[in-house]
Chains A and B, each alone.
Chain A
């Protein structure tokens, strides 16, 4: 631990206490304001669990049913609250089971601190029972990680971990602590980390770049904004809204940016990307200035890069310098956090409205409505659509619910049709596309914000990847509303098979169990809906429930999600059918 850090001055004078490494871990977590953590005990982390038992009035440990569930729950906790999520596991399989959630948090910039137990230091490298090189394994998917073999190293490592996880572009960190370090006694004191000399979390915003960006925006005839999660992570929702309203710029979101401004905002023109809305995809290739804010030009957003917004000047507001020119060449890069840079550019921006340009979005929306949305939300055919379920949820939630989705068709439908009135309401696995995310993430979200309605929307495939977390819902009395949109298929893969593999439905058909019986087995209120006339009442009952509630909706088996930008196609080649 030779990295130099800055410590807070006022706390350094505190007298030290002689305690064990494991007690120190718990005290550090409490000092960082952690109220809830998610995890699973086992041999190499038992001393810490013993301390958690002693400190249970100060810090609540949630036993998930699988370590993957612990990371996803911690992610849900972090995504809805903006605070660091904490997950804990033992060595070996406990630690490796965290990896999927860590990778998910890395690609979706979610602040997580993961603590793993490790075999005693004298056994390291000897293939001891439940030994894995978790530092080696987690290196490519963590923002930072380290292994601790001495108790005295614990406070500084944990202080650094929290600082790194939440500062700048957030991300997951992992600390692996050997069992002997957990037992060892030392003189404990805790100082929060306030800086690391090799790490510059927020690059300085350059005044020239701001002015250059403002000039491009002011001169644009057809400006277009695509915003991402950077607006939410940077707590820049107000600044963002002020900017787009002043400049009158139609603005579209990436899946991770959803909910930063309300769905109903007149300048919100919908989602970009593979299953995004028609207008923003088509008009990406017609705008003259493309303003990207806190987003990273993922391939699911850009489609074919060689035909992405080639006509436009590109401005990129971004906190992570490594994202500049990574996928799309920028004309003006504005580094810094969104809140600061958007606030700083505002005085240079001229008031504008671009009515003709807006009309184009409205016209294309009408085409999408007639061809797709109408049939999704107001179907005339017999089978239920995923879209109408979302519409019912909107009717009940009035857009105030946090929607936690899994991955697949239902996710795209949820993102397309859910109404979001408040920021941090779309919690989903965007970058990694982790099936199994939805259920445990909803538990974390509900526990972080018990005051908010949290609705988990899953498909029948992903739901069964982490279905055991129903046990956590029951044990924690987490009042999560769980909706499974059951089409008895791995729907998104089936859709691709239909469109691109001549309907060869290889291993996508699911023979499912009785989901209602399973939910009832976990003592949850549960209901199944198979007919349209039952839907509204069932959703009403679910939303009115004070406790957790499970609702299975049997939807049309072979519905497809449209619009769609086929893989490798240009965004303007988006298909409506």
Chain B
């Protein structure tokens, strides 16, 4: 029975409805499950939203959670995926002091090697954007910390799956 905790990405396709975020997050809250990251956005289907939720739990638990999420009236379908079943990205931005670009030669190399992108530069600060896997972002954060970071924000995970998610077919079936 005892299974190991692992990282799962939960994808939830929903109607775009006020209050649904509350309903879905309450399901995690009741069971004392910490949401590692959460992203809501439009999906590939017009008028359908997609929640991407990152959680750490056992597979047995995640199955029960999926059932309870899917049970919500305005949830169209919920899936869970293991790490290897998705292609995912996170994104982050750093605000740094512009002097660093001139004073610290190493920072130029760090930026280049990390495939980060300079979004804007002015006299006081520059803004660096980086998309990638969580570890890559953490690595860059570690390296830039040495120079002093003025501000840092990381996004939640966004992911697509290797397998097809047949939402359009489901919705079409409803219309006929």
Contacts and interface: CB of A to CB of B under 8 A. Distances in A.
Interface residues of B, number: 24
B14 interface: yes
Contacts of A199: 73-74
A79 B71 CA distance: 22
Nearest to A324: B67
Contacts of A320: 71
B22 A136 contact: yes
Interface string A136-159: 100110011111000000000000
A195 B68 CA distance: 20
Contacts of A197: 76, 171, 174-175
Interface in B15-35: 15-19, 22-23, 26, 30
Nearest to B25: A139
B171 A140 contact: no
A324 B16 CA distance: 28
B47 A198 contact: no
Given A2-B47, A195-B174, A139 B67 contact: no
A135 interface: yes
A321 B71 CA distance: 8
Contacts of A322: 64, 67-68, 70-71
Contacts of A136: 19, 22
A164 interface: yes
A208 interface: no
B63 interface: yes
B10 interface: no
A321 B174 contact: no
A146 B26 CA distance: 16
A383 B68 CA distance: 49
A2 B15 contact: yes
Contacts of B17: 2-3
A283 B50 CA distance: 47
B53 interface: no
B62 interface: no
A558 interface: no
Contacts of B30: 140
With a 10 A CB-CB cut-off, give which of B30, B75, B174 has the most chain A CB atoms: B174
A144 B67 CA distance: 16
A197 B18 CA distance: 17
Contacts of A143: 73
Contact of A198 (B23, B64, B68, B73): B73
A135 B18 CA distance: 10
Contacts of B16: 2
B71 A196 contact: no
Nearest to A327: B64
A164 B75 CA distance: 13
A136 B71 CA distance: 18
Interface in B44-97: 47, 63-64, 67-68, 70-71, 73-76
A19 to B, nearest CB: 26
Contacts of A58: none
A325 interface: yes
A201 B156 CA distance: 32
Interface string B4-19: 0000000000111111
A136 B23 CA distance: 9
Interface in A1-18: 2-4
A326 interface: yes
Given A164-B73, A321-B70, A326-B64, A135 B19 contact: yes
B73 A325 contact: no
A324 B175 CA distance: 28
Contacts of B174: 4, 195, 197
B67 A321 contact: yes
B76 to A, nearest CB: 4
A84 B175 CA distance: 27
Nearest to A145: B19
A80 B67 CA distance: 30
Interface in A455-473: none
21 contacts: A2-B17, A136-B22, A140-B23, A140-B30, A143-B73, A144-B74, A145-B19, A147-B18, A196-B73, A196-B74, A197-B76, A197-B171, A198-B73, A198-B75, A198-B76, A199-B73, A320-B71, A321-B67, A322-B71, A323-B67, A326-B64
**8 closest Cβ pairs, A-B complex:** A322-B67, A197-B174, A198-B76, A3-B15, A144-B73, A199-B73, A322-B71, A140-B26
Interface of A: 2-4, 135-136, 139-140, 143-147, 164, 195-199, 320-326
Given A140-B23, A147-B18, A321-B71, 10 more contacts: A2-B17, A3-B15, A3-B74, A135-B19, A139-B26, A144-B73, A164-B73, A197-B76, A197-B175, A199-B74
